Structure 1
Amino acid sequence: MRIALNARILQAPRTGIGHYVAELANALADEPDVELALFHGWGWSSDLPEAAMPGYSRLTPLLRQIPGAYQARRWLEQKRFDQGRSKTIDLYHEPSLWPLSFDGPTVITLHDLTHLHYPDTQPPSRLREIERRLADGVQRASLILTDSQYIADEAQAYFALPAERFVVAPLGVAARFHPREPEAINAVLKTHGVEAREYFLCVGTLEPRKNLTLALRAHALLPEAVRQGFPLLIAGMAGWQGEQFSDELRAALATGDVCLLGYLPDEALAQLLAGARALIFPSLYEGFGLPVLEAMASG
């Protein structure tokens, strides 16, 4: 079977859906009866990109300022998708919201319905595109994968689709997330000036849905000695409207009680998670919430 997987999201620094796509692609590539073709937005490949596209984090905010940018990019992607198919595709899998047009069987992964519950946590241009395309994509899909039964139930009710169109496939956890002895992670911890079990960790893109303002306020309510003894480390790249809590963040950073680590390599993040006193995860809404599972796997 020849499966086409839309892997365009792997051009960006990997967050939850990016890791999902990477793990899925690796697993499918190991299947003897599967020939995997990866579409990366501008062409086709059989290999996963090892890192984000250079300049991606600077380019994405710029695109949001250009009227019609989402529609123009979508039109170009569809052209490339159609032109680059040198062989017959038996199945097309779209792992992120709405599929490209395809005249054969299509599977989509619907991770959540954030745009319904918290539309103000989405860039307006992206929200308009979701509202324009998602319902049609869901109706066209032969099968809809969800990460949890909760999202399957929500989607089934909202889109008025039969239960047999949905398959719940709970997410797994990468092997790098496991308990570690303090001496095994000391080098990474020293880089960030902390000791094992003496810091709290937040993991998530700095954007409204992750609700990191709540974590900052909660940490600030702790007695001064506790704040200093257990700093709050925030690991994640800057996202849309990350500046919304910049005043509180700047104040917390000035005290030294909060540390902003930025986007970390996978292994460094896994080590930090294994050494944390606790994971702080105040997200407003998640379809699954991988960091919680990763924290449990890390002990």
Structure 2
Amino acid sequence: MIFEESTEPLLQVDSLKTYYKTKTGNVKAVDSVSLFVDRAKILGVAGESGCGKSTLVTTIFRVLPRNAQIVEGEVKFKGQEILKMDLKTFRKNIVWRDIAYIPQASMDVLDPVYKIKDQMIETILAHEDVSKAEATERIYKALESVGVPPEKADMFPHELSGGQRQRVVIAMALLLNPSMVVSDEATTALDVITQAKVLKIMKDLQESRKFSMMFVTHDLALLANISDSILIMYAGKVVEFGDVEKLFRNPLHPYTKALVDAIPDLRLRKKKKLVSIPGYPPDLENPPKGCRFAPRCPIAMPICSQKEPPLTRIEGFHYVACHAVTKQ
């Protein structure tokens, strides 16, 4: 799909399909997903667990499990199709150097048997021809930039707190000054106070270094203050995509509205009644015909269970896949 606002995006995903093969069929985890991330901008990707967010990320980084298959679609980074690129070339010239990854669990990146400094040095030397002394100096500066004392570099991962480990991973992601950073639920395992501190660090670094970012989370409220645009996923599909202010002020898809209504507002004197979404997400091995949200949708029409709604531009940078909206 071609978005009118997308002129020369840093990252562009077009009609991507990634399925998981099982003994009983294919799980359609990412099904015809299109998006773009502009230069020096932050795209927030939100949706409940199982909607395909992490599969989207692992497809971009080409670290899918063996039973996963990219059925069709393109992923272009700086105009290059990276899914068809030689894997060694991709890992040598693109990953970490140009597009970095911050995982949900810091221990997925940090090796428990190596000191922080040794792991960070290895990251630099694997991609750049610099001296060990120069690499070490860069490591200390990187740790200081995320609020970690340089002496922590001589510690093992288990000797740091969860918040410190997550800051170390952020520092590692930025070691090679990438053009883009992808954060996959990077703050989920942290307490609220530490989460706020880590988010502020990430936002400040993004603004100062002008890199692009894809921030993936199941918590829509987190994206309000850091994102320029937001993509809402449901059951492997994009249901709404647009400017952050438009999406929060005027959510169009019933699923997005339900997510916004579920966010508590502490500013209100009168307590707001939180709304839950009845039912369960569909089985992606055998998804319902038509709109996948239709079985849970309060405004579903007969056409919703028969025909899949296309992602349609409504006004400005605001796209939605809903028959009830496009019919108006």
Same fold (TM over 0.5): no
Instruction: Give the structure with the higher percent strand.
Output: 2
The TM-score with structure 2 as length reference comes to: 0.28
Higher relative contact order (CA 8 A, sep 6+): 2
Instruction: Give the structure with the higher percent helix.
Output: 1
